[in-house]
A and B are shown apart, each in its own frame.
Chain A
Amino acid sequence: DAMVIQNPRYQVTQFGKPVTLSCSQTLNHNVMYWYQQKSSQAPKLLFHYYDKDFNNEADTPDNFQSRRPNTSFCFLDIRSPGLGDAAMYLCATSSPGTGNTEAFFGQGTRLTVV
C-alpha cells in the first residue's frame, strides 16, 4: 500500500549530538512537511518542500534543517538537540495540484533527548 514511512519510530539522542530523522513516501506527492508535536498539543509546522523548493516557517529555530534529495525522501536534521526538542516529529505529504487536499501522515518519530 502507498504510504508515508518514518524511521526510526523511536530515537534517543544525547544533548547536543546531531540527529537525523527520515521520511519516505510511495504516494509520489510533490509536497512534504515536517511537523513537531509536543504532548497533547497541535502539530506545529517546521517547514515544507514544494517539489525542490524549501519553505521554512518564520519561527522555526535554525537548529532544525531539512533535506529532500528526491521526491520520495525527506530528512529532518537537528544540529544540536536540546531538552526542549524532545517531541514527536511527524512527516506528512500532500499533492494539492491533483486534488488531494488533505495531508497524509507517517506514524511519527518520538525523539527523546538525554
Chain B
Amino acid sequence: AQTVTQSQPEMSVQEAETVTLSCTYDTSESDYYLFWYKQPPSRQMILVIRQEAYKQQNATENRFSVNFQKAAKSFSLKISDSQLGDAAMYFCAYRRSGNAGKSTFGDGTTLTVKP
C-alpha cells in the first residue's frame, strides 16, 4: 500500500521569506501523480500544485514550486515570498495512475505566517 509521510506537523515562516515543506512517499509504481493541497481554517481544500511522475521538470505555480526527487521518493513544496494568506494546513497527496482518482494523503503540515 502507498504511504505518504509529512514529517513536519508545524512550520512557521516570516512574511516575505521562503519556506519548504517536506513530503516523502512509498510506492512500487512508476506512473503516478503527486499533489500539494492547501486547507485554510474553516475553508475548502484547494489544489496548490501538481506533479506528474513521468515529468522530470519540477512543477511551478507562481510563488509555489516543488522539488521532485523520484528516486528518493521525495516531493517538497517551496513557498517563496510568503504571504499572510498562505497560512493553512498543507497536505501532500499521492495518486496512482489509473486508480480512479483515489488519493492517499499525508497527515498535513500546519503553516503559520508571521507578520
Contact = CB atoms under 8 A, between A and B. Distances in A.
Interface of A: 31, 33, 40-43, 45, 48, 50, 55, 90, 92, 94-96, 101-108
Contact of A41 (B35, B45, B107): B107
Nearest to A110: B42
Interface of B: 33, 35, 37, 43-47, 50, 52, 89, 91, 95, 98-103, 105-108, 110
A103 B44 contact: no
Contacts of A103: 47, 101, 103
A45 B43 CA distance: 19
Instruction: Please list the 9 inter-chain residue pairs (A to B) with the smallest Cβ-Cβ separation, ordered nearest first.
Output: A94-B101, A42-B105, A105-B45, A107-B44, A102-B47, A96-B101, A101-B33, A50-B100, A42-B107
Contacts, number: 54
Nearest to A100: B101
A48 B45 contact: no
A55 B107 contact: no
A52 to B, nearest CB: 13
A107 B101 contact: no
A50 B105 CA distance: 20
Contact of A107 (B35, B43, B52, B107): B43
A50 B102 CA distance: 10
28 contacts: A31-B100, A31-B101, A33-B102, A40-B89, A40-B108, A42-B91, A42-B105, A42-B107, A42-B108, A43-B45, A43-B91, A45-B103, A48-B101, A48-B102, A55-B100, A92-B45, A96-B99, A101-B50, A101-B52, A101-B95, A101-B101, A102-B33, A103-B47, A103-B101, A104-B47, A105-B37, A106-B44, A107-B43
A41 B108 contact: yes
A85 B103 CA distance: 22
Contacts of B105: 42-43
Nearest to A45: B102
Contacts of B101: 31, 33, 48, 94-96, 101, 103
- Interface centre among B52, B102, B106, by most chain A C-beta atoms within 10 angstroms, is B102
